Structures are given as structure tokens and as C-alpha cells.
Structure 1
Amino acid sequence: MKISYNWLKQFIKLDWQAEKVGELLTDLGLEIEGIDTYQSIKGGLEGVIVGQVLSCEQHQNADKLKVTKVDLGYGEPVQIVCGAPNVAEGQKVPVATIGTKLYDDEGKEWIIKKGKIRGEESHGMICAEDELGLGKGHDGIMVLDKDIPVGTDVATIFNIENDQVFEIGLTPNRADAMSHWGTARDLKAGLQQQDLTIELITPSVSNFKIENRTLKIDVNVVKSKLAPRYCGVTISGIKVAESPSWLQYRLKAIGLTPKNNIVDVTNYVLHELGQPLHAFDAQYIKGNKIEVKTVKAGTKFTTLDKVERELHKDDLMICDAEKPLCIAGVFGGINSGVTENTTSLFLESAYFDPVSIRKTAKRHGLNTDASFRFERGIDPNITEYALKRAALLIQKLAGGHITSDIVDLYPKKIEDFQVFLSFDNTAKLIGERLPEETIKAILTSLEIKVNNITESGLGLTIPAYRNDVQREADVIEEILRVYGYNNIEFTQKLNASISNIDKFSDHTVQNTIANQLVSQGFYEMLANSLTTPDYMSLTTLLQSENNVEMLNPLSNDLAVMRQSLLFSGLEAVSYNINRKRSDLKLFEFGKTYHNYPIGRIENKHLSVIITGNKTKESWKTTPASSDFFYLKGIIEGLFDRLGIKRSKTSPITNDIFSEGITYSLGKSKLVEFGILKRSVLKHFSITQEVLYADFNWDTILEFAKRTKVKFSDIPKFPEVRRDFALLLDTKVTFEEIHTIAKQTEKQLLTDINLFDVYEGKNLPEGKKSYAVSFTLQDEHKTLTDKQIDKIMNKLQHNFENKLGAELR
């Protein structure tokens, strides 16, 4: 938001430097992001002074040029070659001296330099109107009043606006400050804290009067909930023309392009008071009737930008007896606005429901100065005042007469907010006990009325325009920002509290697992919970009817809540691969959202995605691609960290995984993982293999809580390893070997490991070779060869009898 300092001074007389004002506004919460300089004439005519032509003679080498001697008020007269036909001896003229910077119509800079023109030296330039930016005339040089002293700066003669413009990074909650008046109101409160009591000057509307009632427009507000207050008045006999320079300067300073005196007044009042207005050409209002209502869905309406729009059933419209004229609070219609032929108008000032305006503006992709304010909530109590202010300005600039009573439809007044402020809570939140008189003074400066005072606090009435101040905490924040955050002293006492945190709380366990994954080279990602419903077509596991849909989506890409973390993860993979980062290890903790017949449900998940090589390219290692078993090892490592044991595996086949496994405990599914199908990856333009794991985090957290941690001493006695090379049928799995071994020796067998698998040459058909190691250890004594041999013989016997194994 742009605020003109000169404009601000119309409300509050202040002679501070703009930088100092900017610091105070920032301290008040209106953060100044920059201060720009505005000049109505670029360069401010610096270096252009009044000169007197002492002599004027014909150039010897050019018929259209004159050689002049000009007195600039200092030193010797200078010679200037001039081509203007009207230059003559004795004239007072504007002279751009050597080094002066002038600007063309496009703002391009050019510098006046000493030079020779057809053999004659020229030390400056006698200027025409357009060369100085003072007009469009170029028939000849400007001739100034003879009474102006030689050497006077031309900038002091003409009404040149030099202004400084604050760029305020306004937060959405501060609707009250979206105008010069609102900013001045805050500034006044801040100045009062610095013992500067400055009056806030309010534009007077006391001269407003109804001159006759010859043009009456009947108003009917059908949708009073969407338009709680609606005001209007007619003005006749106006003349649409160019706005005066002072008004143009105000608008140009804040980045607006002047249109005509009527439109410029409505824009002026909008940025002055924060009240949007709209002027209708009265001749286009059929039946002399205005209706504020919604229209049939699908109705076609062409706006001022010449775009035909299809209206929604909830769009609030300003209509006449036959047709819509304007999208209320957002944008006018093409055939109802003010033109150069307008002689009478209906001026509207209203308060519209913020939610309705916001939805309408987003539906049609419109963002205007009016909608920006309406959708954040304006002051419902200045509606009529702003209308009078604008009407008086129109009369001043365009003539005309007030030709109707003011229509003010306000059936249900928007009440001020009632809040009780506790002194103890104020001290607790601020961290310092402020004097009660200081608190009351700050509240009064913010136009918050103190109704009653007790020992414990204050009963307050908050004005309706402060729709962001409705709770006690909001009031305390207002007190603190005006008092000054920097004025709160630091305490020398350090307070700390210790809270008991369950070691199996979601946050604690999540951090533990995240740390383990990060230590293995993973990066944590965070994706948007909003996604596109198009992803439902990629799998039959998700159903469109279970989507949680947005009532007012920003776009189709953000229309539903995600039912799976997979697709947002693949978006991240695709994004990185397209930027030459093809070796990825990502994980995300997030929720999925489902709309089932029994109700809406949220489930928490942990997703893990791996693609590309396991490690970075290096001269010390050979690149190895991530594979199914690498992901399997990661998963089992996480289970070990959580103490989850005895999980069972089963293969899965669906339209997501080409190969996959499920880990489960009892009937509870812990994780599904595997290699994603090419058909899924193709949708994201991914050509390399991607591995994916989806953990049911809520289930895992529940089982992790059941884990009992036991501590034991490190055994003092050595462990012993023995190996078997077993010839087995190809259908035999390592899991069967592991199970039989554990059943054979439950106490001394501490580890079983498969370290080699061989199939092929020199083995009988249908056979394979497993090399398995067995680790034995007794915590209380050293094992003897006799004990070891006995255990190994039992293992061999059971493998032979139960699996048909042979020792190689």
C-alpha cells in the first residue's frame, strides 16, 4: 500500500523527516518497506532558472536559428543558440543551464551540454513548455512574466509537487489502516506516546446540502445480509473533464492514472478515507431504480475491462429495473460508468459483506482497490460521511447540484465490540506492568472507549472498524504496539519450566526416526496438503467420492485434500530430476484426508522415496543404484530403532507397485513398500526407477508404545561363528531356515545371517546354495567345542529332515 506524505499531512500537521515518520509507523506495526520520491515533473526542474534575453540576432549560417545573449543573474551573460521563432530581446525565459537533466515523454534522461551549433557556441537551452514537462506546447519558447527576477529557480514559479511516498507492507488484519486517514489515525496515537499531542484533521462535509429533488433513484436492497448498509445520492448538471493538477498529483504519487474528474474523485476518497465508491451514469439506470440482489446463475455480464463473465448465483449485483449494472464491491459494468457525455450520476457508497466480496472476486479472478478493502472489512460508520465528502468534491470540480435526498438503508446496525481488559492479564502478556493511566491514554488515542474502570480492569467498547480487535489479547496487542515493543525492559530474572514429555509422544518418536533417516542421507520434505483430483485416475486404491473438496479452490490443482502422500512426493522427485538432481532420498511426515460415509477422517503417514544411486559419485566408490533390498534394509532399521519385532511379510500386487511387500503385526498393516509401476511414473515424466514406502504412522506409534526397553551388560565371554553351505530346493526361503534355527536353539544362538546365494553351473537343476552363518554365545561362560558341535549337529539334522538340505 502506498501512502503519500504530503497527503498524510492534510490530516496531521507534522514537520518530521519522512524517514523518522517511517520509523514510527514501522514501530506501530505499519512496516515501511521503502520510501520513494515523487515529483510531478521528473527532475523537479533543478538547474532551470529565469534568464533575460539581452540581445537576439540572426544566425549567420542558419535561417531558422537565432544567436542570443542571456543574463542568468550571475557572472557574464551567456550565448545560447535558439531555434524558436518567438524568441526576442527583453524577454524573461526559462533557461536549462549546462549540466541540467531534462526528461522526454517516456522518462528518458538527456543532459544539457556545452556545444556548437552551426559554428556558434551555445551554453544552455531556452526551453519550451513540453521540454520542461509543463505542458504540450512546442510552437515556441515559454515567455515568463517580466516582473520575475533574473536567476530565480523556475521550480519556485510553477506548482511542482515534490512528495515522498511510503510503501507499507500492510498485514491483512489491518483493514482500518488501508487509507491515509487510517494511517494518520495510527500515527497520531504513536505521536501521543512521544508527548506530541497533534490534532487529527477531518475533512468537513458541513457544506453538503440538497439543492432540489428533481432526480430521484429508488433503492431496494434485496440481499440485506450481503449489503448491510447502502447509501446513494444523485448529482445533476455535472461536466466531465480533466481533473485539476493537485488531484492528479495525489493519484499519480500513489501509482494511479488519472481518468477524469468524477472517477478521480471516487479514487481519491477511496484512498483518503478507505471507503470505496462507485459513480453510475444516471441515464443508463432504467426505471430510475437500483436493486441490490443476486441474479440467475449463468447470467452473462460484461465488465469495464470488456470481458464477458458468467455470473454465479451468489454474486451480489447492483441492478436497475432491467439488467445488472455492476458487480457489487468488485468491478463496474461496461455500459453504466461515467463517460465524457455524462451529465447526471448516481453516487453509491456501501458496506458489503467481506466474505461475499472475497468469494466473488476470486471466482472471477478480479483484484481491485475496492474489493481489496471490502473483503477485509471497512468501517460501516463512515458510509454516509464518505458519500457527502465525494459529492462535495464532485460539485467543486465538475459543478452540478445535489438532486435527491441521501438514501441510507441500514436496517441492522453493526454494533461495536464489548471487551473486558484485565490489568493482570495485560501485565502477564506484556511482561511488564504499565501504569493504568498510560493504558487508558493509549486506548483513548486508538478511539477505544473506556466504559467503566474497576480495580481489576477496564470495560471497553471497540469501534466496529477495528474488526481485528475482538478479544482481550487483541486489545493488549494494540496497547503494546503503541507503547512500543522496544520500550519493554528486559528482566534480569530467567524463568524456565520443565514439562513431562512422554518418550513415546508423536513428536518425540517422529524426531527420533527423522534423525535416523537424515543420518542415512535422507532429506525431509514438506508438501502441500492440497492437490488435484486428477491423481485419482492413477490408481483404483483411491476413490474420487472420498475426496475432501475445497468449497472455494484457488485452482483445479489445489481443489482437494490429498488422500495419499505418494503423488506430492512424485511431484518433488520430478521437480528435482528436471533440475539435474537425480539421486534422491526423501521422506515426509504428513496427513491424508478422507471423506468416508461414516465421516471425515485424517490419517498420519510417513512416506519414504528413493531413486538414483545410493551414494554420491566419488573416485573411491563405484556407483550403485538404490534397489528393493536397500529400501528393505532402511525399513527394518527403522523397526529396530522403534523396537518393533515379530512383524510378518506378505507380497502385494496392485496398480501402484510392480513389486512390493507389506509388513504387518497381527491384523495391523505397518508399511507397504516396493518399486513403483512405470505407468504411475509416466504421469510425472519420470523415466528412472523409484522406490516408495508408505508407513501407517498412527499404527506404528501405537506398537512403539508397547515396546519395553531392557538393559543388559555386554557379555564378557567370546562369541563363536560357524558356517553352513546348504544345498536346497529353489523354493526354500531364508525365512524358513531362520525359523528352524531359532526353534532348534533358543538360548545360545544369537544371530543368523545369509551371506551368499548361488544358483547355476555345477548345481543340480532346481537347486540353489545358501551360505549361512550362525553366531553362538553364552553370557556366563566360554563355550566348549563339544557344546558347539552338538548345536551344529542339531541344526544340520533339522535342516536335512525338514528342508531336504544337504551340506556342500
Structure 2
Amino acid sequence: MKISYNWLKKYISIDINAEKVSVILTDIGLPVKSIKKIILDEVEDSILDVEVTPNRTDAMSHYGIARDLYAFLKFRGDTVHLSKPVIINEETNHHNHVQVFIQENIKCIRYSGMSISEIRIEPSPHWLVSRLKSIGIKSINNIMDVISFVMYELGQPIHVFDIDQIEEKKIIIKNAEKNTYFQSSDRITRKLDEEDLIICDAKKPLSIAGIINSIQSNLHVDTKRIFLGSACFSPVVIRIIGKKHLIKTESQYLFERGIDPNQTAYALQRTAFLIKSITKRKTYFHITDVYPSPIYPSIIKLRYNKIRNVLGKEISKNKIKKILSLLEIVIHSENNKYLFVCVPLYRIDVKREIDLIEEILRIYGINKIKISDRVKISPLPNFFYKTEHQIQKILLEQLICYGFQEIISSTMRNENKYSTLLNSFFNREEIRIINPINQNYKLMRSSLLFGMIDCIEYNCNRINYYNNSNIKFFEIGKIYYKQNDKFLEKTYLGIVILQQIEKKHVEFQPFFYLKGIVEQIFQKSGINNYTQIFSKHPLLENSISMLYNNKNLVELGKLKNNILKKKEIVYAEIDWEYLISIIQEKKITYVPFSKYPTSRRDLSLLIDNTISFEKINQLIRKKENHVIKKIQIYDFYEGENLPKSKKSYTVSFFFESQKETLTDKIIKNSMKEIEFFLKKELKAEIREKK
């Protein structure tokens, strides 16, 4: 991001040691004599190339950079002053104001509008042209240049319409109708649908979510009255629209990273002040502000001992409070151990206590934290000797890190044909409640699956589509059933993923993604020698069972479509009690990494379609070939050009030794043994070797 040094100095009194490049910014054809009139401050400028992380939208503007520099320099002890951009406070009465209506409160958080009359479209003054030109922006006219100036000054995008082109003087923020064709200012016609957010008048769309205007709503030389819009949209909505319609504008760049909702009206007042200053005409202003569901600053608990433990240094309480004050973070309440602080809305990156500690370190100075010359290594955690509660905490935190959310569902259920089918498959009998409180809850649950399905349906009906395209839940709880005249209860861990079938762009395959999650749990638990077989689960299609010591540990598969229509749900159920017993019996073993390279060979096989890859894997493992480190499936095909009873696997073999670099001769001999063994045991036909 380009920052003009002279522009920055308008807000903060600093002297940055930057290499200054003398430039003369003039209009084409300007006489040499008039160059003398250019103020020296406008002639000599330095352009600072600032890299800002995507979550710091508050620093994506000149004033934002100045505000951040002020906090650092003031804490350092420099004499520095911060000047906030001047705005117009009074509102003049006139009859040209425009009404604003928001129909999509979730997508459009706040919309502020301003009507301005008695303007004149003309060239911008030299200072404005120079400011924009210094950061690579070409001047258009006085109104458009002021809008660009405010966007780069405050980081708030503003769009403008000709009031005479607004039907019935109404601005409506809503979803577009299906098959709406929109010709934007870049002369590209785009086809919109019901998911696209638009700004329109009573009859036609004027803009796509404030990021690109219609070609008909552009200003022209005879424009006398304008309407300025300053909005705060949902970043997710803008990101989806920009990606779908291939729109890349500065407004879209800022909107999709998050805008401060408290700045929308202020940016309009700043724009009005600049327009009034450069036009030098008697203009009339009227502001309309619609904020349906106000967002309030979040309150975060900040503990002094947590700051000390994270930073490794004691920082005085007065210095911590001073840093927070300079960052405009207000102390709500406090005691000797902690603070409750209110974070301003423009700091969208500060959500947790650790974020506050990072801010304190940033202003305090990381160079002031001394690092010990000694390197300390924590002892290897004794994971396999922990209690069940400790194991549960570790594994569930792992699921949370993968983006799953924990749910708790009722242990009582209603009778349905699917639960009956499930119990008959596992030879279980459901437990009935003699005197149920509600007829909908007259059975004890015999599976976690149905409670998770109810939770998915509830969320799909009440949460915005953009937030529930992929739902990931887990639950650990007991199930209850009767078997051989005994009442039993067992603990299971259920994991479920929902993916919308109608989604156009599939980000991942849910089945393999969930299988990978389960395998990551196994890896963390030290479970390596497990096997997989195809299962005939009554409610899951293409399901597999994962066994340990020939005992069922996991059931995993995709829910059949007739249970929950238009939803692709993948479910895994882990026998929690068996998993805990395996972990507690495991002992830690240490195997050093090999210092010798790994070699890979691929083998294509044509085999009977009843043979699974797991069977191939287990057969080869039994041969005890010590140089084979890993076996994985690379490709699978069945269909045209193959016999109906056959399928093709391409299997990758990874060879590695702890003692020596494997020669090509050793690897070739191992591959010959594998080929001979597969031909003998599976009657496989070797198709290709690589």
C-alpha cells in the first residue's frame, strides 16, 4: 500500500527518516512561471510502501497509519500530536433528501447516506490532484476525487449517484432478483441472482453492494445534485460477490476485510466538508442513517499474570494502561489482578486476550524483551498415562482446532423407523421410559446420530447460508440400550460434517476429510496398527469399519439421502471407552528419523473388483519387508476399457532404511517380490511400473 509522507504529516507531527525524492506534480501544459506558486511541501514528497496484514483494515489508510504511529511514538516519549480530519457538523435543510431502506440486515449492517445540492462538476484543485497522483490515482473531477481522497484518508469506501437518476428518491439495499442483468461502469454486463446484494432505487439496480456502480448512475457534467452512500457490509458477502463476478476494486478490497460501522456517517461529514471547501459554493447537505442492529464494542478480560507469562517480563500496570489508552482501548472496570476493556470496533483483529497482549508487546517493543542464551526443551509429554478426563481434553481440543463445534443433545428421543432399523442391525432393544414427560421423548437414545441430525436441521433453518455451507459438529455422550435382558450404557464420540449438495464449488470431499480427521486422532493417540473393512451399516452408504485387534473401533460413512434430503452428511462414531483403554495401555516408543533418503515406486494393478485396497495393504504388511516405510493408493479406476468384474489400482510404495541409502538394485528386488506375491495371492495383473 502506497502512503504519501506529506499526506501523512497532515495528521501527525513526525519526521520519518525516509529517502526523499523531489518531484514536481503539475498539470499537462502548465506554464513554468506558475510552478513557483506550488508550495514546497507539495513539491517534495516521499512515498512509503507499507505492507499491512489483511486483518488490519484500520491501518489501510493515511489516518489509520498516523493513528498507529502516534500510539507508538507517544509511548516512546516523543513529542507528537494527532490531528483528526476536520468534518462538517451542521446539517442544512433542503427538500432533496433520499430515503434509505435496508431489507437485508445481516448482509448490510449499516448504511449512511447524504444528499448534496447545488454542486458543480469541474476539475479538482491542484493540491487534491497532487495528493492522489502521489499514490498513483488519476484525477477525474472534483466530486470523484474527493471520494477517492476520503477512501485513502479514512479507509471508508463511498459510492455516489446522481439524485435525478434515482427513481422515487428511494435507496433500497436488498438481494437481486433472479436473472437480473447489470451493466457496470467497467462496461461488463453481469448476470445476478438472488444471493447477490445490490443497491437499487424503486425500479432499477444502481450498484452491486457499493463496490461497482451501474453505468447509468455515473455522474455527468450537468449533475447538480448527488447522493453519497457510506456503508458497512458483511465481509463474507462482499468476498463471495467479488469472487463470483470477478470484481476487483479498492472498495471491494476494503469491504471484504471489514469496515468500522461507526465511521460511515463520519466519512460522509468529512466528504461534505471537502466538497464545500473546494467548490466554494453554498451547498446543502442532509444525512440519512440506518443502523437496524447496532454492534457494540466487545469486552475482554485482560489478566496481568497472563501478560507476564506470555511475554516473559513484568510490565508495570501503569504502562499497560497507558498503552491501552493510546490504542483507544477503554478500561471498563479493573482490580489488582485483571482489567475488563472495551475494544473499538475498528480493531476487528482484536477479539481475544492474547490479541490484547500482542498489542501491548507491539507498542512496548519486542526488542525490550530479553531472550535467554540457554535453550530449554520441555520433556516429552506422557500422553498415554493420563486420566480419561485429560485424554478427553486433548482430543476434543484437537477437534476444535480443526473447526468443529461441540454440541450437547437430549438423551431422550422419539421413536422412528431409522432408530428401529439401527437397533435391529446391532441386535439391540430400545429402552422405553415408563412415564415420559413428553410423548416426543419416550425412548432413551441408542445412537448419537439422530440428535446431531436435529442440531444440523435447527442450524440450517436459522443461520445465514454463508455461515452454514459446511457445518462441523461433535458430541461425546452416552447411549442406552437393552441386550440379552441387560440394561447397558456406553460412551461414544460422534463427529458429523454437513456439506450443501447444491454448492457449485466443492472445497473438499467430506468422507475423506472426516476419515483423515479420525486418522489424525489415531495418530495422536499412538494407534497405528488398525485395519479397515467395508461395513453394511443400515443408515450409512459406502461405509467402513475401522478395527483394532479385530474389534470395531469406528463406524464411518455418508448418511443415506432419504434420511435428510439435499444434505450431504458424513458421520463417524467412535467407541470412546475402547479408545480410552487402548490409549492407556499404550507405551511411548521413540524411533529416530532416518538420515537416508526415501525412494518411491508406483505399481498399477488390475484386480477383481471385490478386493479392497485395505486387503492389499494388509497382505504386503504381513510380508515384513523392513524397507517399505509406507503404502498408499495413488489412483483408482473402474469403467470403460476394463472388464466389468475388474478394477485398476495404482499403488505407491515408499522405501527407506535406517542403516543405508537404498540402491536401485535393492528397490527393484523388493518390487519384484511384491509383484510375485500379489500375482500369487490376488491373481493381480501388473499393468505398469514407474
Q: 1:267 to 1:665 in 2, by over 3 A?
A: same
Equivalent in the alignment of 1:600 = 570
The Cα offsets for residues 763-803 of structure 1, whole Å up to 9 and x where unpaired, read as xxxxxxxxxxxxxxxxxxxxxxxxxxxxxxxxxxxxxxxxx
CA deviations over 1:87-131 (Å, ceiling 9, x no partner): xxxxxxxxxxxxxxxxxxxxxxxxxxxxxxxxxxxxxxxxxxxxx
> What SS does the aligned partner of 1:451 have?
strand
Q: What SS does structure 2 have at the residue aligned with 1:662? A: helix
Match of 2:212 in 1: 331
Secondary structure of 1:212's match?
A: coil
Residues 673, 184 of structure 1: alpha-carbon distance in 2 compared, 3 angstrom cutoff: closer
The correspondence for 2:74, drawn from 187, 192, 196, is 192
Q: In structure 1, how many angstroms separate the alpha carbons of the residues matched to 2:270 and 2:12?
A: 18
| SS of 2:217 mapped into structure 1 | coil
**Alignment match, 1:652:** 607
Amino acid at match of 2:310: L
Which residue of structure 2 aligns with residue 173 of structure 1?
55
Is the 8 Å Cα contact of residues 218 and 289 (structure 1) preserved in structure 2? yes
Q: In the alignment, what sits opposite 1:480?
A: 361
Cα shift at 1:277: 0.8
Between the aligned partners of 1:468 and 1:241, the Cα distance in structure 2 is 40
C-alpha change, 1:662 and 1:234, in structure 2 (3 Å) is same
The corresponding residue for 1:50 is none
The alpha-carbon deviation at position 434 of structure 1 amounts to 0.7
Whether 1:162 aligns to 2:44 is yes
Q: What's the CA shift for 1:39?
A: 2.5
Separation in 2, partners of 1:369, 1:330: 8
Offset of 1:491 from its aligned partner?
3.3
What CA distance in whole angstroms lies between the structure 2 residues aligned with 1:252 and 1:318?
Answer: 30
Superposition deviation, residue 652 in structure 1: 2.5
Matched residue SS, 1:381:
helix
> Structure 2 residue aligned with 1:496, among 368, 371, 377?
377
- How much has 1:665 moved relative to structure 2? 6.7
Q: Which residue of 1 aligns with 2:15?
A: 15
CA distance in 2 between partners of 1:735 and 1:134 (Å): 80
> How far apart are residue 237 of structure 1 and its match?
1.6
**Larger Rg: 1 or 2?**
1
Name the structure 2 match of 1:662.
616
SS at match of 1:18: coil
Match of 1:561 in 2: 509
Q: Which amino acid aligns with 2:154?
A: L
The separation in 2 between residues aligned to 1:342 and 1:734, in whole angstroms, is 84
What's the TM-score once normalised by structure 1's chain length? 0.51
1:280 paired residue among 157, 161, 168: 161
Closer, same or farther: CA 365–694 of 1 in aligned 2, 3 Å: farther
Give the AA of the match of 2:23: Q
For residues 598 and 80 of structure 2, the distance between their equivalents in structure 1, rounded to whole angstroms, comes to 68
- Determine the C-alpha separation between the residues in 2 that align with 1:164 and 1:278: 29
CA shift in 2, pair 1:446/1:502, >3 Å: closer
**What residue in structure 2 maps to residue 2 of structure 1?**
2
Determine the C-alpha separation between the residues in 1 that align with 2:214 and 2:362: 42
Aligned with 1:419: secondary structure? strand
1:136 corresponds in structure 2 to 29
Cα shift readout 1:17-64 (whole Å, capped 9, x = no counterpart): 226xxxxxxxxxxxxxxxx957344xxxxxxxxxxxxxxxxxxxxxxx
Cα-to-partner distance string for 1:382-432 (whole Å, 9 max, x where unaligned): 211111110121122235555453111123221011011100001111111
Per the TM alignment, residue 155 of structure 1 is displaced from its structure 2 partner at its CA by 9.5
Question: Could you say if the C-alpha distance between residues 280 and 594 of structure 1 is closer, same or farther in structure 2, counting changes exceeding 3 Å?
Answer: farther
**1:243 to 1:499, Cα distance in 2 relative to 1, 3 A:** same
2:110 to 229, 235, 243: 229
Alignment of 1:267 onto 2:177: no
8 Å CA contact 2:70, 2:82 repeated in 1: yes
Q: Aligned letter for 1:664? A: Q
Counterparts of 1:10 and 1:449 in 2: how far apart (Å)? 26
Structure 2: which amino acid aligns with 1:136?
G
The equivalent of 2:247 in structure 1 is: 366
Q: Does 1:39 align with 2:23?
A: yes
Label 1:261 to 1:654 Cα distance change in 2 as closer, same or farther (>3 A): farther
Distance apart, 1:483 and its partner CA: 0.8
Partner residue in 1 for 2:651: 692
SS in 1 for 2:82: coil
Deviations 1:202-249 (A, max 9, x none): 1222x4433331312122122222222211121112111111111111
5+ residue gaps, structure 1: 20-35, 42-132, 146-152, 505-545, 566-592, 604-613, 617-624, 633-650, 682-688, 696-732, 739-808
Preserved CA contact (<8 Å) 2:159 2:228: yes
1:387 aligns with 268
Q: Distance in 1 between matches of 2:205 and 2:316?
A: 57
TM-superposed CA distance for 1:183, in Å, is: 0.7
Q: Secondary structure of the equivalent of 1:341?
A: coil
Q: Secondary structure at the match of 1:228?
A: strand
Secondary structure of 2:357's partner? Answer: helix
Query: Would you say the 8 A contact 2:498–2:570 is kept in 1?
Result: no
Corresponding residue of 2:124: 243
Q: CA offset at residue 497 of structure 1?
A: 2.0
**For 1:158 and 1:8, how far apart are their aligned partners in 2?**
16
Q: Which amino acid aligns with 2:570?
A: R
Paired residues of 2:510 and 2:570 also in contact (CA < 8 A): no
Q: Deviations over 1:271-330 (max 9, x none)?
A: 101111111111100111111111212211111101111113122211111111111232
Q: Distance in 2 between matches of 1:413 and 1:185?
A: 25
**Superposition pairs for residues 276-675 of structure 1, below 5 Å?**
276-403=157-284, 405-491=286-372, 494-500=375-381, 559-561=507-509, 595-597=558-560, 599-600=569-570, 628=603, 652-654=607-609, 662-664=616-618
Opposite residue 39 of structure 1, the aligned amino acid is: V
Q: 1:14 to 1:335 in 2, by over 3 A?
A: same
Separation in 1, partners of 2:260, 2:15: 29
* Residues 490 and 675 of structure 1, relative CA distance in 2, 3 Å threshold: closer
Contact 2:21 2:44 in 1 (8 A): yes
Q: CA 1:483–1:245 in 2, change beyond 3 Å: closer, same or farther?
A: same
Q: Would you say the 8 A contact 2:112–2:231 is kept in 1?
A: yes
- In structure 2, do the counterparts of structure 1 residues 254 and 680 end up closer, same or farther at CA, with 3 Å as the change threshold? farther
Residues matched between the structures, number:
465
Relative to structure 1, the CA distance from residue 398 to residue 335 in structure 2 (aligned partners, 3 Å threshold; closer, same or farther) is farther
Aligned equivalents of 1:734 and 1:235: distance in 2? Answer: 85
| Aligned counterparts of 2:608 and 2:680: Cα–Cα separation in 1 | 26
Match in the other structure for 1:77: none
For 2:337 and 2:677, the matched residues in 1 are separated by 75
- Give, in whole Å, the separation in 1 of the partners of 2:634 and 2:337: 64
Question: How do 1:200-219 and structure 2 match up within 5 A?
Answer: 200-205=82-87, 207-219=88-100
Task: Report SS of the residue matched to 1:389.
Answer: helix
Instruction: Assess, with a 3 A threshold, how the Cα gap between structure 1 residues 337 and 656 changes in structure 2: closer, same or farther.
Output: farther
| Contact 1:235–1:403, Cα closer than 8 Å, also in 2 | yes
Q: Is the 8 A contact 2:602 2:653 kept in 1?
A: no
Report matched runs for 1:93-108 at 5 Å: none
- CA change 1:215–1:355 in 2 (3 A) is same
- Cα distance, 1:692 vs structure 2: 2.3
* Alignment-derived partner of residue 407 in structure 2: none
Report if aligned partners of 1:627, 1:691 keep a CA contact under 8 Å in 2: yes
* Paired residues of 1:265 and 1:390 also in contact (CA < 8 A): yes
Shift of 1:595: 4.8
Assess if the C-alpha contact under 8 Å between 2:558 and 2:571 holds in 1: yes
Identity of aligned residues (%): 35
- Which whole-Å CA distance do the structure 2 matches of 1:410 and 1:6 have between them? 36
